[in-house]
Copies of this chain bind each other. A is one copy, B any other.
Amino acid sequence: MVQPVGTSTTNVQSNSVGAMLDPRNLLNHYRNALDWDLLRKFEGVSILNTRQFVRREVVELAKFSALLEQTEIASSHPLDGKICITSFFEASTRTRLSFEAATLRCDGRVLSVPDGKVTGIAKGESLSDIGEMFNTYGDLVIMRHPETTAIEEIRRNLRLPLINAGNGTGEHPTQALLDWYALLKWRPDLATEDFTGDEFHIGIVGTPRDMRAVKSFMRMSMLFDNAIGKITVVSEQKQPLGRELAEDVENSPIEVEIRSDMQSVLHEFDVIYMNSIALLEGSYELLGKEFSLDANSNLKENAAILHPLARRDELAASLDRTKHNLYFAEAAGAVFMRQALLVSVLGRIDSLPDSIIYLSS
């Protein structure tokens, strides 16, 4: 089932169009075997940043997601009696609904704070008091916050596991997990220790220093140095990596290059990671079409495009029906990756139907 690099088989094509990526691609590659013991170790563990992961954990979570994507599990109610608190101090309907859908799909309950900023919850109340309050309100907290330090503050009194759904210019680790879930469904061989194809060249459009999803994707990508030879960061900023990430880069065998001219390097990328840059204020207005992709862009034949969505002008709808579209699959997999995380962190793997556990042990 390994797709040789540069060989455009029918299967790869059908897989790279829209949301059509078959999760069995990934499962078959591993003969349907999951390392349940490794996944059980996530019980009670907070998911705070990409640094806490090793490659094998990313791969097992992706395989668990694939298993959930191809199985009807609603009727087994794995999260029966569990309450997830979605606490969004910065509104993000897409991410919030994705976590809530994942919870509900597993029969968990949702306590929703869609906009913590405008409700009484945040009128001068400290995050550490809010954490204390959450202890008896639920079993797990999912938080997004505009401040990078918010994670640390809420954990002062919080005794529940916390999932970071984006903190200021910090991290957005679950987004990186689902980005890689899409990549691994598309190319399961990217996870193999003895990767034998041409090494991958990944293009990342954005400024990892300031954009948490970009930073988390880049950091997680560096776990896959078995298959990735080069990462090009395309940014109009002078020092787009920031100090921390620059250190990571020094310790990695992957070659990292900084460019500001996207169009001239585009044809080199096997994977292009785009971001919602047109939704941000400031830079996009200046850069305009230079940072945009459409069906006429000079893309490598089998290049895959990732984009966390929502999008505006930086990613044209003309790409939707092409084989470059991995972003719909990325979005489609989001709910399943979040299910895998919730079931693991809440210690409910063994509430899944026996047939699932058995078939995949």
Question: Which A residues form the contact surface with B (CB < 8 A)?
Answer: 19, 72, 74-75, 80-83, 85, 91-94, 97-98, 100-101, 104-105, 107, 109, 111-116, 119-121, 123-126, 128-129, 132-133, 135-138, 278-279, 309-312, 317, 328, 331-336
11 pairs of residues in contact across A and B, judged by CB atoms under 8 Å: A74-B81, A83-B101, A98-B137, A104-B109, A104-B111, A114-B119, A120-B310, A123-B310, A125-B310, A136-B334, A136-B336
Pick the residue among B74, B75, B94, B120 that contacts A93 (CB under 8 A). Answer: B120
Are A19 and B75 in touch, CB under 8 angstroms? no
Pick the residue among B109, B132, B278 that contacts A328 (CB under 8 A). Answer: B132
- Chain B residues with Cβ below 8 Å from A328 are 132
Min CB distance, A82 to chain B, in Å? 8
Question: In the assembly, what is the distance between CA of A136 and CA of B18, in Å?
Answer: 13
- Chain B residues with Cβ below 8 Å from A135 are 19, 332
Question: In the assembly, what is the distance between CA of A128 and CA of B321, in Å?
Answer: 13
With contacts A75-B80, A80-B75 taken as known, whether A279 is within 8 angstroms of B138 at the C-beta atoms is no
Are B101 and A136 in touch, CB under 8 angstroms? yes
Question: In the assembly, what is the distance between CA of A117 and CA of B137, in Å?
Answer: 25
Question: In the assembly, what is the distance between CA of A317 and CA of B132, in Å?
Answer: 12
Are B312 and A124 in touch, CB under 8 angstroms? yes
Question: In the assembly, what is the distance between CA of A310 and CA of B136, in Å?
Answer: 15
Question: In the assembly, what is the distance between CA of A74 and CA of B82, in Å?
Answer: 8
The closest CB in chain B to the CB of A115 belongs to B119
- Chain B residues with Cβ below 8 Å from A126 are 317
Number of copies: 3
Pick the residue among B72, B91, B97 that contacts A137 (CB under 8 A). Answer: B97
- Chain B residues with Cβ below 8 Å from A104 are 83, 109, 111
Are A119 and B93 in touch, CB under 8 angstroms? yes
Question: In the assembly, what is the distance between CA of A85 and CA of B98, in Å?
Answer: 12
The closest CB in chain B to the CB of A122 belongs to B93
Are B94 and A311 in touch, CB under 8 angstroms? no
Are B91 and A81 in touch, CB under 8 angstroms? no
Question: In the assembly, what is the distance between CA of A135 and CA of B19, in Å?
Answer: 10
Pick the residue among B100, B109, B125, B279 that contacts A311 (CB under 8 A). Answer: B125
Are A335 and B113 in touch, CB under 8 angstroms? no
